[in-house]
Structure formats: structure tokens, C-alpha cells
Amino acid sequence: MGTITTKDGTEIYFKDWGTGQPIVFSHGWPLTADAFEDQMFFLVSKGYRCIAHDRRGHGRSSQPWNGNDLDTYADDLAELVGKLNLERAIHVGHSTGGGEVAHYLGRHGTKRVAKAVLMGAIPPLMLKTPNNPAGTPKEAFDQLRAAVLADRSQFWKDLSMPFYGYNRPGAKVSEGVRNSFWLQGMMAGLPASYLCIKAFSETDTTEDLKKIGVPTLILHGDDDQIVPYADSAPLSAKLLKNGTLKSYEGLPHGMCTTHPDIVNADLLAFIKS
């Protein structure tokens, strides 16, 4: 575990486990690097080096007012990669982290990158616009912002249900997982909790996806209630030069935690391919 300090003075916390080819994880909103511990522990045991950072404003990183946007998130990731001097890295991004990875690759290139994985990821664009008529209306994101301001502690508790598919009939609910989600959410500062909503909902990564030439795996559950499947994964796959789409019947947004054995096996197979 360690920190780096970015060019604007923000301290970014990261954990760095193992040795071997580096795998870099970018987490979703409002979580932390801890959201990937199931994947990291598994892959380190297979001989890889796993690195995961807390995005600025989240977890154990600084909580600046400025920089809660995808441009800065991507630049922070580039600074982390540069300061750790990572080569042939495999970047794995979940949800907002998937947008961070796509924007990092589009903005900074793939010189240090071997492969990428987008899981339950926000690209190409979540917001409903004239060019993206199947997207989510802005009013839905306004409701998220209002809930964060009104009582974000209760909101995180409520959000954990659809995030992990625990609101589905017959779902086996883990209160431990829900508590972990709440704890990670409460570690995020209010500026990031609020401002990141605009970042993940309104940033169009279409041009970033078109630039990515490295092999890219897209993993997405078709029962994702946070980032709807039809308006994300298939569209991203079409834009990528070297993309592979794998969908999971009935799996939720938080499938890294609810179904780690399935996700871990597919990650390892792609990494080794």
C-alpha cells in the first residue's frame, strides 16, 4: 500500500500486491479499491502483480473539490502508471472505472498497455441524448444527486440492493456485502459523491473506444440495473477495433462480488490468451 501525489497536489492511495505482469484495477462509484479484492487475491495467487487505487475523492485518497471529472480521473491513472513505471499492463475497469480506463487509453495511448477489460462499464454514454435515444434520462441522474445531498448514508444502503441484484425474487442477500458497500460509499467525500454523477453519466467515450487497438474484453451482466446492458456493452463492442463481448445471463452490476468465481475465471483466461 502507498500513495502518489498528482501534479495538482492530490494524494492518491493505492494497494500493490504481488509480482509479475501488472494488472491495474479502476473501481466504480462510490466505491474504493477494496471492491476488487476478490479479483486481486485470486490473480496474485496466479503469479500476477495487482494494483488498485482509490479514485480522487473516494476511499483513502484526498478529497479535493476540483478534478471530479473523467479527464482528471484518466490523468490521475496515467500518473500512477508512470510513477510505478508499469509496462505491458492489463487495465480492468468496473462501472465508472470502465469509463476511466477507456478515457485513459484514448487520452494517453496504449504504449504501456497490453490489454483492457471493461466490466459493467459506463461507455460509450449513459445519458439519453438525440444521438443516444436509448440512454437514461437526465431526470434519473438528478434524482441520484438529490438523494446524495438529502441523506447519502441511507442512499448507499438503498443503492446496494439493485447494485448486487439483491432486490430480485429469490436473491440470497448478504448483509455483509451491503455493509461493505455502505462503508466504502461513506469513505467518499460529498463532492465526489455528487460531482462524479455528472462525470459517469454525461461523458461520451465514443471517440476513446474507436482509438483503442489493444485486445479488450467486455463483461456485462444482462440484469445490470445500474448500467443497463443494451445501451452499453454491445455498443462499446461495435466501436472497439479488437473487442470481445461476453454477457452473463441474470448477473447484476456488482457481479465481481456476487459471482467472483465466474468473473475471475474469465479474467484469467483473457489475461493468459
**253 included as an active-site residue:** yes
At residue 177, the pLDDT reads 98
Within 8 A by CB and 6+ apart from 237, the residues are: 218, 243, 244, 245
Predicted confidence at residue 44, as pLDDT, reads 98
Q: What is the pLDDT of residue 87?
A: 98
Instruction: Give pLDDT, residue 199.
Output: 97
Q: Is 61 a catalytic residue?
A: no
pLDDT for residue 148: 98
At 159 the pLDDT is: 98
Angle between helix 190-202 and helix 138-163 axes, rounded to 10 deg: 110
Question: What does the pLDDT read at residue 161?
Answer: 98
What pLDDT does 207 receive? Answer: 98
Q: Which regions in the chain score pLDDT beneath 70?
A: 1
Check residue 66 and give its pLDDT: 96
The pLDDT assigned to 144 comes to 97
Catalytic member of 26, 95, 232, 236 = 95
Give the active site residue among 224, 231, 232, 236: 224
pLDDT at 40: 98
Catalytic: which of 27, 91, 94, 253?
253
Tell me the whole-structure pTM to 2 decimals: 0.97
91 is catalytic: no
CA atoms within 13 A on the CB side of 104: 33
104 within 8 A of 35, measured Cβ to Cβ? no
Question: For the CA atoms of the chain, what is the radius of gyration?
Answer: 17
